[in-house]
Amino acid sequence: MKVILIEDVKSLGKKGEIVNVSDGYARNMLFPKKLGVEANAKNINDLKLQKAHEDKVAQEVLAEAKALAEEISKKEVTVSIKVGEGGKTFGSVSSKEIAEAAKSQIGLELDKKKIQLPSPIKTLGVTMVPIKLHPKVTAELKVKVKEA
């Protein structure tokens, strides 16, 4: 019997796949647990429409991420840090501080987990910080670190 999977089923397939299973497995396992539906013409058409809708939504999300990346690349954030004698810095600038500065200075809500700092910034000057907005889109935010 051909079945369309509604959820991922271990050792059988992923959500949205059409798989061939025995009648008993479908009736006793997949249908009662709402893991799959019978692959008839109506259900296959519904699956195609659902996939088309998901593709459209994914394209819209990607376009929004690209637009936001374009906007972020034109902006600059200033963060201050304590500096001692001889230009030695005390502490560092973390992704949390960058996210807070972006919110207060340019009005952008950035998730600190999406800011990809290889290590905290410990020097004065301008640093380009990558921000992962989407799996395919990464923006560059200019962070200016100045003396407090």
Residue-wise pLDDT for 40-59, tens only, equals 999 999 999 999 999 999 99
Q: How far is CA 104 from the centre of its chain?
A: 23
Nearest-CA neighbor of 83 among 126, 144, 147, 145? Answer: 147
Quick one: pLDDT band at residue 85, thresholds 50, 70, 90? confident
87 pLDDT above the threshold of 80? no
Q: Name the H helices within the chain.
A: 23-25, 41-73, 95-106
What pTM was estimated for this model as a whole?
Answer: 0.71
147 pLDDT above the threshold of 80? yes
Nearest-CA neighbor of 13 among 4, 22, 25, 23? Answer: 4
Quick one: pLDDT band at residue 129, thresholds 50, 70, 90? very high
